[in-house]
Copies of this chain bind each other. A is one copy, B any other.
Amino acid sequence: MDPASILITNDDGFGAEGLRVLEESLASLGSVWVVAPDREQSGQGHALTLNQPLRLKRVAERHYVVQGTPTDCIYLAVNTILSKRPDLVASGINRGYNLGDDITYSGTVSAAFEATLMAIPAFAISQEIGEGPISYEAAGRWSASLAQQILKRGMPPDTLLNVNVPRLAPKGVRITHQGRRIYPGGVVERRDPKGRPYYWIGGQSADWEADPATDFAALAEGLISVTPLHLDLTNYKVVDEVRRWNLEL
């Protein structure tokens, strides 16, 4: 059997330490291809870049830099760079967690979604940060063990795994569901030197629903959180109810 082909990308850019740790961690499992954005993409749009051309630069064997989003990286890698479809896509290790409702905006998770759309098994992995130095060691080690499982078992259809690693040495692993932000409702009003107001969102720190099955709770208990996600936001539970509204023209 051919050695596994593993494609990795991230949201923090090609030079990020988390990407390097991910590459090293997966190296023993197959040939790792690194195709990553040239710079940090946080806060950028995470969809495919359709309205402008993308530059792609080979910087070393199996190492490419893309002037685009993490999603672009996966798309270009599979469609033009790799000669065959990868067996696994891993995205990360992101500097900072991707939990709860905020994963909708996460480039790290979006890249894994793009792979899932192409029916390629994928996971996203993010490292909680706090004060003091960041260690990606536990996340790297656990990436390898998860990758091994996925290469062996495959992935349920239409599913990706969103992994978050706690800041301190993990005490275990929990399969979770996506948690919900509890609305802080804070806005801080300030005045500029000319007396004009401006506003900061998030005066209070965000809180989260108290449910031990959530990704947040797992992390707070020092566990690695693994959430199986899919791409479908439809609330099937209420479809029939809305049908009974008999909406008409």
Contacts and interface: CB of A to CB of B under 8 A. Distances in A.
Contacts of A102: 47
Given A178-B232, A234-B227, A241 B75 contact: no
Assembly stoichiometry (copies) = 2
A159 interface: yes
Interface stretch (A17-25, A26-34, A51-59, A125-133): A51-59
A78 B185 CA distance: 9
A227 to B, nearest CB: 6
Interface residues of A, number: 80
A48 B228 contact: no
B158 A79 contact: no
Interface of A: 43-50, 53-56, 72, 75-76, 78-80, 101-105, 110, 113, 117-118, 142, 145-146, 149, 153, 156, 158-159, 161, 170-173, 175, 177-178, 180-181, 183, 185-187, 189-190, 196-202, 224, 226-239, 241-243, 245, 247-249
